[in-house]
Structure 1
């Protein structure tokens, strides 16, 4: 087979044959990898004949120049339609408000767009298209604070790790409300939280927040029903379900027992739903409106959960890709019959979503009532489980058989396979970016900001075929400019800040494009070094959020002590011969950071954290987010990438409630130091 023709096909499909790794070295994707990835994109490439046939089909599609159902454009700019329509053709544009604009295409086939933001309808040559008229930039910290020099700060927290009395063993929206009030009282303007995406109710052993079933809905385990329906209703449900003793046992555990918590809370939620259905409560109308507004997307998710639960209980395959063919199609007659036969079960899942939605709504309302300029910053996972609800309901817009990951980089020298599915670029365009827009709107529904995990996926994603290793993947390009416009537009519609996690292998020019659209990058203290020198605060960029650490890194106290190295040695990831060199390298980095902080290596951990907090606090970053682990000088890692059961990932709990936690020895003063440092940064910017 001609590698040249195969590479032509790969290029036409948006695959990068050549790429540059994290060390600046040129790489080339092997032909067998290209064939495998193409096959899972639905493009035949196993023989020369298939390659030529696929190329001809793609070239014919390109020459057809068929317009997609949604075009993105910059509001107030020109829209070039010269490749599709002739000059002088009459057009009419109708804004969401109903205001109409009309005219004729100029000699270049262009029309002038109005400056208004939003979604509009364009009628031309007996066709009607949708337009997304985007602002030049997403909402900024300055926009939200009403101050061009604003330098805000907040905390980042793992929602599940928070503790409150009566939580049943898992942090929830009630604990989050407490943290919001306590942090706001100390001057915080934001609380960034771990993902709240919907998981698999029938598979509670799958609890990584970055491998959800759907990014369109929430995890009901976080709901804190007492804050919505009242304590009496919840106490009655707990009694009816007979789970009081088990909830108390789970609450006393030092680590979260996710499967046990899920089983126990689900029994309580089902009892709560049974009581709710009996009526006589003032919330029925709100629930009915919620379900109506949720429309087809909510109905499909609830049907999936009901069907998925039934099949798991019967010992049948849980992956919808292994279901009988008639159940793989959400619109099939078989699914309609299932829905008609199981209305109560489907309603239960809608009820659970309503509780979670209202819980997060209360949290963001509390944040704004407390005076926070931003409030909650939600976390958007880069993908969803290919066996889950989102992949099932949006099959034409996702690539459920390819897995998202990363090639070897500074974070993981072996590369990574995250086991989650990605959007299909062609599917997104063909369906007017429906799945992407609805995902953004859901993420911003009850938040003042959105963190986009692995934001490089807006431009390209490393996709790995089934059964292949992380190195045996390829980069697939995405419609970057369209996605940036849609993000900027939804940011303005929700008045929300957008953060893009841009750590790892970053393509040349990516950060500049993000910045030009007003999306904040992310700078981590531990990574801001070169040649044994940490970047001084004044040299940090002003277009990125600053933080001390992340959930995939050890907190600073643990980093100084080499906690991550010790754990990896215990797991056999670092052998006895490698360990001394690893500790020597860490000690050199620690010495360099201490010098940058103006400290000596023997300084107590709390004092080092104070210095580090002030260090990032005086940077030009518009926003500083301090992980709760660093605020409290905890050495414990939230997550050890590359491990599953070997390390208690996503299971750590705080021993104190948020108020007591922030009032702990040194924490109150540390947050005051950060607030003062932010004031200095604001003054220096004016």
Structure 2
């Protein structure tokens, strides 16, 4: 092993990894050098390598207590040798106000153990004059069983539940201005609950770029701490009369009518109109500082503190910089403006206070709108309600990276290595937290993000949860294949998720699709996180075909498809194969045959196998051949997934409506209308559609017939 490889391995990089075909790959040293530099570990010569190795060793050696240590309730807490000498007294100040005093008695050279703590929470360990946070987590996350007991105290476990997955931007409501909003989401939740549904899984609601509305992928947000103000229904908080006055003042009535008639969202136009309305509302709202709503707004701003103020300042700064010199990325701004704590940024905020306050106002409306949707879901009888989507990273040009610049990775993109569905690999153009900074900063940025995700939902879905263990990092400008895995402190992160999950009484779903390391799924389930199983990937273990429903995993959520994968109709027709070919994601075959033609032939075979699985499960008649390519068996697919032992099944609206097109085609830019498709009907009218209503009834009936595996094999989950 070379010195570069030794440094990379010590810093957390995996210098070897297995690809989707289980073949071992080795990361080139050139890639490791670039990534080490981006991680703040210079390695241009032997001296730098030695110094960087010493820096990493100092961080990992445990010579002093870190700012935060994670632990589990009722389990001993190990401390670094040098931080806990025998005979030293310590004090633990519990969050509840109680105090535990003690003295270390471990023999010299052995790890010091604190006695187990039975109370979950963020406690403080005091040794001499040093204070360290002890984040003591429950053994597992808040679960669906726990959520169900809010409806039925005496239930040993939840019955099989189902819900709907929706792209919020695509929802339609009369008067929505051309973009789905929180009022439409509340209506969807209420109507779904009336049909027996208990969850609404939603697309990410993260804050985008008000000054750059052409950036609209919900998985490439400006910040994961705040909300997308495009989804605000201005009338929801301030009333219909105020909205009508604002529309008139902004002069956008005709524009709104045209935008609402489009089948694809025109994001720049829709955001321009939405911002004009919000500004007109703010002008009126800000004239009365004594109203109950004004006091509510002031309390929201105070509670949001520095992070909220930073985001509002960023929004105002970016708009000003773009207007002045076209500089959207904060790293291209003048040096002083790149630092959120600089005097120049403070002076800008003071000089443009009204503009900063406007963005605070917009966030307040968004927060109230999303919270209303969650309350509507629970009030209608849902056990869970909204399941918010937490993106794997954020745009490096956004407010999150600007506000937390010392905690974020720079000069790299999060992505994925080549796999069976994306043969060129993926580079998502996103940044995320540095694992080194996580440890040295006491995981503060990660905890802040979790709390924002949990705050207005009954659960969260963590996108690419494999990133809690390792992330594929690609140097800027390199192809997605030229990356490496960087390890993250998985156990610490899982404990923090469990702790926050219970504090907010919200379930956790982890998107664990793709190349999953051995034992990873089991680790998630031990901590009470639900994985995800998708129909297309649930293949028979031995031989061709699809798993029967009873062989699917139990500790997961199940679904027909996801936003990045073909709908049932699209898959049946092979639309995804043709689309991937058009954007260059189909690799040439060694035998010279047309790759698309071969893939379509294989899909034809898979159609027969899937139909056979439907027949074997008693869902499709055994004496009827598989439907032709233009008549996808959508109803059978929905019921098939409903019959699995998953405690929660979620169905994309696209499949409940038997639509062909998927919301997003990974790897495409203009070739596919990603994140722009709208439902053809308003939400209320959807539920009047006979085919849609029949599918919901069939799903509800099928779930009531299904039997969870844990009814027979597991004890009911107990509160930790």
With the length of structure 1 as denominator, give the TM-score of the two structures. 0.97
Q: Could you tell me whether the CA contact under 8 Å between 2:187 and 2:683 is conserved in 1?
A: yes
> Which shifted more, 309-318 or 473-482?
309-318
Deviations 1:459-479 (A, max 9, x none): 100001111110111100001
1:602 counterpart SS class? coil
1:486-501 equivalence runs, <5 A: 486-501=496-511
User: How many Å separate the matches in 2 of 1:70 and 1:537?
Assistant: 43
Query: Relative to structure 1, is the Cα distance of residues 291 and 640 closer, same or farther in structure 2, using a 3 angstrom cutoff?
Result: same
Q: Which residue in the other structure is 1:33 paired with?
A: 31
- The alpha carbon displacement at 1:675 in A equals 1.2
- The alpha carbon displacement at 1:505 in A equals 1.7
Q: Could you tell me whether the CA contact under 8 Å between 1:198 and 1:212 is conserved in 2?
A: yes
- Say which of 262, 280, 299 aligns to 1:289: 299
Q: Which residue in the other structure is 1:592 paired with?
A: 609
- The alpha carbon displacement at 1:171 in A equals 0.4
User: How many Å separate the matches in 2 of 1:276 and 1:370?
Assistant: 31
Q: Which residue in the other structure is 2:103 paired with?
A: 104
Q: Does residue 1:537 correspond to 2:536, yes or no?
A: no
User: How many Å separate the matches in 2 of 1:432 and 1:571?
Assistant: 43
- The alpha carbon displacement at 1:38 in A equals 0.5
Give the total of aligned pairs: 684
2:395 counterpart SS class? coil
Q: Which residue in the other structure is 2:270 paired with?
A: 261
Q: Does residue 1:527 correspond to 2:525, yes or no?
A: no
User: How many Å separate the matches in 2 of 1:536 and 1:106?
Assistant: 56
Q: Could you tell me whether the CA contact under 8 Å between 1:402 and 1:422 is conserved in 2?
A: no
Q: Does residue 1:637 correspond to 2:662, yes or no?
A: yes
Q: Could you tell me whether the CA contact under 8 Å between 2:424 and 2:585 is conserved in 1?
A: no
User: How many Å separate the matches in 2 of 1:670 and 1:248?
Assistant: 32
- The alpha carbon displacement at 1:282 in A equals 3.3
Q: Which residue in the other structure is 1:124 paired with?
A: 127
- The alpha carbon displacement at 1:658 in A equals 1.6
Q: Which residue in the other structure is 1:10 paired with?
A: 8
Q: Which residue in the other structure is 1:78 paired with?
A: 76
Q: Could you tell me whether the CA contact under 8 Å between 2:583 and 2:668 is conserved in 1?
A: no
- Say which of 340, 351, 356 aligns to 2:361: 351
Q: Does residue 1:610 correspond to 2:635, yes or no?
A: yes
1:542 counterpart SS class? coil
1:610 counterpart SS class? helix
User: How many Å separate the matches in 2 of 1:570 and 1:644?
Assistant: 12
2:414 counterpart SS class? strand
Deviations 1:189-211 (A, max 9, x none): 00000001000110000000000
User: How many Å separate the matches in 2 of 1:606 and 1:270?
Assistant: 48
Q: Which residue in the other structure is 1:226 paired with?
A: 235
Q: Which residue in the other structure is 1:415 paired with?
A: 425
- Say which of 187, 207, 227 aligns to 2:216: 207
1:529 counterpart SS class? coil
Q: Does residue 1:47 correspond to 2:57, yes or no?
A: no
Q: Which residue in the other structure is 2:141 paired with?
A: 138
User: How many Å separate the matches in 2 of 1:192 and 1:61?
Assistant: 39
- Say which of 390, 413, 417 aligns to 1:403: 413
- The alpha carbon displacement at 1:411 in A equals 2.6
Q: Which residue in the other structure is 2:567 paired with?
A: 555
Deviations 1:214-253 (A, max 9, x none): 0000011101121111111111111110001001100001
Q: Could you tell me whether the CA contact under 8 Å between 1:149 and 1:682 is conserved in 2?
A: no
User: How many Å separate the matches in 1 of 2:125 and 2:66?
Assistant: 12
1:179-190 equivalence runs, <5 A: 179-190=188-199
Q: Does residue 1:512 correspond to 2:541, yes or no?
A: no
Q: Which residue in the other structure is 2:92 paired with?
A: 93
Q: Could you tell me whether the CA contact under 8 Å between 2:570 and 2:661 is conserved in 1?
A: yes
- The alpha carbon displacement at 1:563 in A equals 1.5
Q: Could you tell me whether the CA contact under 8 Å between 1:92 and 1:103 is conserved in 2?
A: yes
User: How many Å separate the matches in 2 of 1:437 and 1:611?
Assistant: 42
Q: Does residue 1:158 correspond to 2:152, yes or no?
A: no
Deviations 1:380-411 (A, max 9, x none): 00000011100011011110321000000123
2:64 counterpart SS class? coil
- The alpha carbon displacement at 1:138 in A equals 0.3
2:367 counterpart SS class? helix
Deviations 1:70-113 (A, max 9, x none): 11100121112251211232221112221112222232521213
User: How many Å separate the matches in 1 of 2:436 and 2:390?
Assistant: 21
Q: Which residue in the other structure is 2:644 paired with?
A: 619
1:122 counterpart SS class? strand
User: How many Å separate the matches in 2 of 1:357 and 1:230?
Assistant: 16
Query: Relative to structure 1, is the Cα distance of residues 73 and 63 closer, same or farther in structure 2, using a 3 angstrom cutoff?
Result: closer
User: How many Å separate the matches in 2 of 1:269 and 1:94?
Assistant: 46
Q: Which residue in the other structure is 2:248 paired with?
A: 239
User: How many Å separate the matches in 1 of 2:44 and 2:598?
Assistant: 46
- The alpha carbon displacement at 1:670 in A equals 1.4
User: How many Å separate the matches in 1 of 2:323 and 2:359?
Assistant: 16
Q: Could you tell me whether the CA contact under 8 Å between 2:415 and 2:473 is conserved in 1?
A: yes
Gaps of 5+ in 1: none
Q: Could you tell me whether the CA contact under 8 Å between 1:104 and 1:111 is conserved in 2?
A: no
- Say which of 389, 393, 396 aligns to 2:399: 389
Query: Relative to structure 1, is the Cα distance of residues 30 and 366 closer, same or farther in structure 2, using a 3 angstrom cutoff?
Result: same
1:398 counterpart SS class? coil
Q: Could you tell me whether the CA contact under 8 Å between 1:399 and 1:422 is conserved in 2?
A: yes
Q: Could you tell me whether the CA contact under 8 Å between 1:197 and 1:219 is conserved in 2?
A: yes
Deviations 1:525-566 (A, max 9, x none): 011014321011111111111000000011001110112223
> Which shifted more, 279-288 or 393-402?
279-288
- The alpha carbon displacement at 1:633 in A equals 0.6
User: How many Å separate the matches in 2 of 1:504 and 1:569?
Assistant: 20
Q: Could you tell me whether the CA contact under 8 Å between 2:647 and 2:708 is conserved in 1?
A: no
- How large is the Cα RMSD of the aligned pairs? 1.6
1:400 counterpart SS class? coil
User: How many Å separate the matches in 1 of 2:468 and 2:250?
Assistant: 45
- Say which of 62, 65, 68 aligns to 2:66: 68
> Which shifted more, 567-576 or 505-514?
567-576
> Which shifted more, 89-98 or 127-136?
89-98
